[in-house]
Structure 1
Amino acid sequence: MMESSLWITVFVTAILFCIIFLVYSKGKSKLSRSIPSPKNSCQLPLGTLGWPFVGETIEFISCAYSDRPESFMDCRRLRYGKVFKSHIFGTPTIVSTDAEVSRVVLQSDAKAFVPFYPTSLTELMGKSSILQINGSLQRKIHGLIGSFFKSPHLKHQITKDMQNYVQQTMDKWRDDHPIYIQDETKNIAFQVLVKALISLNPGEEMELLKKQFQEFILGLMSLPVKVPGSQLYRSLQAKKRMVKIVHKIIESKRNSGMSSKVPKDVVDVLLKDDSELLTDDLIADNMIDMMIPGEDSVPVLMTLAIKYLSDCPAALHRLTEENMKLKRQKAQKGEPLIWSDYLSLPFTQNVITETLRMGNIIIGVMRKAMKDIEIKGYLIPKGWCFFAYFRSVHLDENHYDWPYQFNPWRWKH
Structure 2
Amino acid sequence: MDNMGSVVIYILVFVPILILGYLTMVKHKRKSQSSAKLPPGSMGWPYIGETLDLYSQNPNVFFATKQKSYGEIFKTHLLGCPSVMLASPEAAKFVLVSQAHLFKPTYPKSKERLIGPSALFFHQGDYHTSLRKLVQGSLSLDAIRNLVPDIEASAISLLDSWDGGRVIDTFHEMKKLSFDVGILAIFGRLDADIKEELKKNYRIIDKGYNSFPTNIPGTKYYNAVSARKRLSKIVSEIIRERKEKWSVEKDLLGGLVNLKDETRALPGEDIATDNIIGMLFAAQDTTASTLTWILKYLSDNPKLLEAVKAEQNAIYESNEGGKLPLTWSQTRNMPLTHRVVLETMRMATIISFTFREAVTDVEYKGYLIPKGWKVMPLFRNIHHNPEFFREPQKFDPSRFEVAPKPNTFMPFGNGVHSCPGNELAKLEMLIFVHHLVTKFRWKVVGPQNGIQYSPFPVPKNGLPASFWKEPSSKRLGCE
Q: Shorter-normalised TM-score: what interval?
A: 0.7 to 0.9
SS across alignment from 1:107: helix
Partner of 1:313 in structure 2? 302
Specify which of 356, 377, 395 is matched with residue 384 of structure 2. 395
Letter in 2 for 1:186: K
Specify which of 42, 67, 72 is matched with residue 77 of structure 1. 67
Letter in 1 for 2:80: G
**1:90 and 1:119 in contact (8 A); partners too:** no
Moved more, 182-191 or 129-138: 129-138
1:250 aligns with 2:239: yes
Alignment CA distance shift 1:16-1:169 (3 Å):
closer
Residue by residue over 1:247-303, the C-alpha shift from the partner in whole angstroms, topping out at 9 and shown as x without a partner, is 11111112223258xx3x421444577999761111111111111244211111111
Letter in 1 for 2:115: M
1:34 aligns with 2:22: no
**2:259 and 2:271 in contact (8 A); partners too:** no
Partner of 2:329 in structure 1? 340
Letter in 1 for 2:25: K
TM-aligned CA deviation for residue 92 of structure 1: 1.2
Give the Cα separation in 2 of the matches to 1:54 and 1:230: 23
Give the Cα separation in 2 of the matches to 1:352 and 1:188: 17
SS across alignment from 2:319: helix
Could you tell me the TM-score, scaled by structure 1's length?
A: 0.83
Alignment CA distance shift 1:56-1:201 (3 Å):
farther
Give the Cα separation in 2 of the matches to 1:333 and 1:25: 64
Moved more, 229-238 or 13-22: 13-22
**2:48 and 2:77 in contact (8 A); partners too:** yes
TM-aligned CA deviation for residue 328 of structure 1: 1.7
1:190 aligns with 2:179: yes
Alignment CA distance shift 1:58-1:190 (3 Å):
farther
Could you tell me the TM-score, scaled by structure 2's length?
A: 0.73
SS across alignment from 1:94: strand
Give the Cα separation in 2 of the matches to 1:18 and 1:150: 50
1:330 aligns with 2:319: yes
Alignment CA distance shift 1:60-1:227 (3 Å):
farther
Specify which of 34, 37, 45 is matched with residue 39 of structure 2. 45
1:144 aligns with 2:134: yes
Alignment CA distance shift 1:344-1:278 (3 Å):
farther
Root-mean-square deviation (CA, aligned residues, Å) is 3.3
Residue by residue over 1:368-395, the C-alpha shift from the partner in whole angstroms, topping out at 9 and shown as x without a partner, is 2233333234321222111001011111
Residue by residue over 1:297-328, the C-alpha shift from the partner in whole angstroms, topping out at 9 and shown as x without a partner, is 11111110110111111211111111111222
Partner of 2:360 in structure 1? 371
Alignment CA distance shift 1:389-1:153 (3 Å):
closer
The correspondence of residues 273-292 of structure 1 with structure 2, limited to 5 A, is: 279-292=268-281
1:267 aligns with 2:264: no
The correspondence of residues 58-73 of structure 1 with structure 2, limited to 5 A, is: 59-60=53-54, 68-73=58-63
SS across alignment from 1:85: strand
Give the Cα separation in 2 of the matches to 1:403 and 1:142: 33
Letter in 2 for 1:30: K
Specify which of 211, 215, 218 is matched with residue 227 of structure 1. 215
**2:149 and 2:325 in contact (8 A); partners too:** no
SS across alignment from 1:307: helix
Letter in 1 for 2:291: M
TM-aligned CA deviation for residue 342 of structure 1: 1.4
Alignment CA distance shift 1:183-1:88 (3 Å):
same
Residue by residue over 1:116-140, the C-alpha shift from the partner in whole angstroms, topping out at 9 and shown as x without a partner, is 3344443333322222345444333
Give the Cα separation in 2 of the matches to 1:409 and 1:232: 44
**1:121 and 1:219 in contact (8 A); partners too:** no
Alignment CA distance shift 1:121-1:334 (3 Å):
same
SS across alignment from 1:128: coil
Specify which of 109, 117, 121 is matched with residue 131 of structure 1. 121
Unaligned runs of at least 5 residues, structure 2: 403-479
Moved more, 121-130 or 400-409: 121-130
- Work out the percentage of aligned pairs sharing the same amino acid: 29
Give the Cα separation in 1 of the matches to 2:53 and 2:191: 38
The correspondence of residues 344-359 of structure 1 with structure 2, limited to 5 A, is: 344-359=333-348
1:95 aligns with 2:85: yes
TM-aligned CA deviation for residue 51 of structure 1: 4.1
Give the Cα separation in 2 of the matches to 1:367 and 1:59: 21
**1:115 and 1:367 in contact (8 A); partners too:** yes
**1:89 and 1:118 in contact (8 A); partners too:** no
Partner of 1:300 in structure 2? 289
Specify which of 62, 76, 90 is matched with residue 86 of structure 1. 76
Equivalenced residues, count? 397
Partner of 2:433 in structure 1? none
**2:358 and 2:370 in contact (8 A); partners too:** yes
Letter in 1 for 2:82: P
Give the Cα separation in 2 of the matches to 1:405 and 1:54: 36
Partner of 2:203 in structure 1? 214
